[in-house]
Every structure is written in structure tokens, then in C-alpha cells.
Amino acid sequence: MLNKYSIAIHGGAGAMSKGKLTPEQESEITTVLKNIVEDGLASLKEGASALDVVQVAVNMLEDCVWFNAGKGAVFNHAGTHELDASIMCGKTLDAGAVSGIRYSPNPINVARAVMDNSPHVYLGGEGAEQFVRDIGLVEVDNTYFSTEMRYQQLQSALKAQEVILEPTQNDYKYGTVGAVAFDKHGNLAAATSTGGITNKQYGRIGDSPVIGAGTYANNQTCAVSATGHGEHFLRHVVAHNISSRMALAHESLEQAANHVIFTDLKSTGGSGGVIAVDHQGNIVLPFNTEGMYRGWGGSNQPAQAKIYE
Ligand code: ASP
């Protein structure tokens, strides 16, 4: 076993504009993020797999009302919640993904179950929900996800008749969650979970559950979890693009991630960021928005968390 490990997590790019969060809220959010990183570091230190660690970290973020995933997920145009998630193992390239989930409190657990207990990679809508029932995973009422803050965001979006919401335009903001980790066995993993975008219609699905766009892990290169304006992340195949730049152009993780976030995404007006860790445990967390809720740490650096630059 190596004596090296690292983890990074995010709670979404397009964080509330500076000054909108009270100092108490800012400190509450950063404490949550730091605690989750500390928990992940403790597990990694004991030799847990990166795959299990990213799943647990995302579970904790899904359970926290501050973030747009699990409890606290945004409302769609119909006034309900449809959630998406994906997970990938960098060692085997096994992956699991789900979209349009309405009754599972932790969609990342459904994605993991798709990976472990089905011959498929990606299940959607009613079929995914049937799978949940067939394998006996826990279900809740759709109102479980609702919070007053997200309800008010839907009302503002309806009033403004906005569907796709740029984080720079207003305070509807994103808030997707994700985790990447490098474990003592030299393995990488990534996981992402989201409620999508406020006021989304017609079964809209973003990048988060799409392997290669919102999530990717490959022991040869890196593990990536993205957050931001999903339509752009899909078009630039962000997570796989970073991995490919490392594999084919021999760029470092930092060069590859910076290029995709600051050049490729920007070229079409896409906003957001990624957290990523390479096959040596190096972490990067670039974003082109005002802030990104994020936390990170490793065998050689203590847990820390930040919202803005
Ligand atoms: N990428 C997500 C989506 O487009 C949103 C987010 O990151 O907050 O569904």
C-alpha cells in the first residue's frame, strides 16, 4: 500500500455572491465541507477504497440542505424534484448513472447499485425507479427534497420566466455536489449528484449523470467531478476532455483542467468548475465563477474548505 491519499469535494460552482451569505452561514458551510473532507481522510488513512469514500462523501453532501442534491435539491418547472447522479471507478472503468430519480433520498447510492448490481451503466426515469424497488433500496416521498429556500428560488425563476440560469446572472445558483479521491491502493474514483437546474422542463438532464461530461475516473490519468451550466459541460465533454488532454497531449492535471475550464468552456460562455485528482494524488479545483463550495485534503495536507477565491 502507498502512504499517499487525497480527496476533494464540491458543493457547486456559482456560490452565492459575496456578501449574500452571512458570516455565520459562510462558516457553517465551510465547516460542513471541512468535516466531510476530514471524514474522508480518516477512511482513506485506514485503507478504504476511493470508490467507497467518494460515495460516502456525496451521501453526506446530499443529506445537507445547503446543497442542490438529495435533500435541498432544486424544484423543476412542475414544482417537483428530479435528481441525477453518477459514479465511476478509475481502476476498472466500471460506472453507474441515473437520471430523473424522484423517490431515492441518495441518488448516488442508486448509481452505485446500477454499477454493482446491473449489467448496465445508465438507467433513467421510471425504469431506474423500478430497479430501485426490485433491489429494495429505500424510497421517500418526493416532498422529502423540498426546502423553503429552493421553493422561493423556483418562484423567482417562474416570475422571471427563466429556465437556464447562469450563476453570474442572479442568485438562483447551482449547488450540485461531487467528490474525487485517490486511495492508498493507487486507485481513483469520482462521484457527482444533483437536482439539476431550477425550473428545468421536459425531462431536462444536465452533465452530472453523464459519464465523461460531469464525472470521469481513470487510473491512467485522473478523477473529475464537475459543476456548472450542464449544457456547456455536455458539449465540451468536460471530465473526459481533461483526462484525454493528460493522456494524449501529456499535459499535467493542472494544465488540462485549466484549459478546459478557462478556454474551452469560456469559448461558448459556459460557467462552472471541476474538482480533480490525478494518479499521483495531486488535487486541482479550478472554476470560472465567483465562487465554488469546495473542500480538500490529503496525506500531506490537512482538510480545508473555501467558497470564494
Ligand atoms: N451541472 C448541473 C446541471 O447542469 C448543475 C450544477 O452543477 O449545479 O444539472
Report yes or no: 256 and 299 within 8 Å, Cβ to Cβ.
Answer: no
Task: Give residue 309's pLDDT.
Answer: 82
DSSP labels for 79-140?
A: SS--EEEEEEETTT--EEEEEEE-S-S-HHHHHHHHHHHSS-SEEEHHHHHHHHHHHT----
Q: Which atom of ligand 1 is nearest to the CA of 205?
A: 9
pTM passes above 0.85: yes
Task: Give residue 171's pLDDT.
Answer: 53
Task: Give residue 168's pLDDT.
Answer: 41
Task: Give residue 166's pLDDT.
Answer: 47
Please indicate whether residue 295, judged by its CB atom, sits closer than 6 Å to ligand 1. Answer: no
Give distance in angstroms: CA of 47 to centre of ligand 1: 31
Give distance in angstroms: CA of 25 to centre of ligand 1: 22
Q: Which atom of ligand 1 is nearest to the CA of 176?
A: 8
C-alpha cell of residue 206:
444536465
Given ligand 1 and candidates 168, 208, 234, which is best to mutate, with the most ligand atoms within 8 Å of its CB? 208
Please indicate whether residue 219, judged by its CB atom, sits closer than 6 Å to ligand 1. Answer: no
Phi, then psi, of 50 in degrees rounded to 5: -55, -35
14 is in an annotated binding site: no
Residue type, 46: E
- Non-local (6+) Cβ contacts of 190 within 8 A are 54, 87, 88, 90, 178, 179, 180, 215, 216, 217, 223, 224, 225, 239
**CA-proximal residue: ligand 1, atom 4 (nearest):** 230
Q: How far is CA 53 from the centre of its chain?
A: 14
Task: Give residue 19's pLDDT.
Answer: 73
Give distance in angstroms: CA of 116 to centre of ligand 1: 25
**Selection from 94, 97, 86, 43 nearest residue 176 by Cα:** 86
Task: Give residue 162's pLDDT.
Answer: 67
- How is the chain split into domains, by residue range? 6-306
176 is catalytic: yes
- Domain 6-306 falls in which CATH fold? Glutamine Phosphoribosylpyrophosphate, subunit 1, domain 1 (3.60.20)
Q: Which atom of ligand 1 is nearest to the CA of 196?
A: 9
Give distance in angstroms: CA of 226 to centre of ligand 1: 8
Q: Which atom of ligand 1 is nearest to the CA of 227?
A: 7
Task: Give residue 151's pLDDT.
Answer: 93
Task: Give residue 15's pLDDT.
Answer: 59
Mean pLDDT of successive 10-residue segments in the chain (309 residues)? 95 78 90 98 98 98 96 96 98 98 98 98 97 98 96 89 53 80 98 95 96 98 97 97 98 98 96 97 96 96 94
Task: Give residue 142's pLDDT.
Answer: 98
**Selection from 304, 302, 271, 306 nearest residue 292 by Cα:** 306
125 is in an annotated binding site: no
Task: Give residue 227's pLDDT.
Answer: 96
291 is in an annotated binding site: no
Task: Give residue 172's pLDDT.
Answer: 53
Task: Give residue 156's pLDDT.
Answer: 87
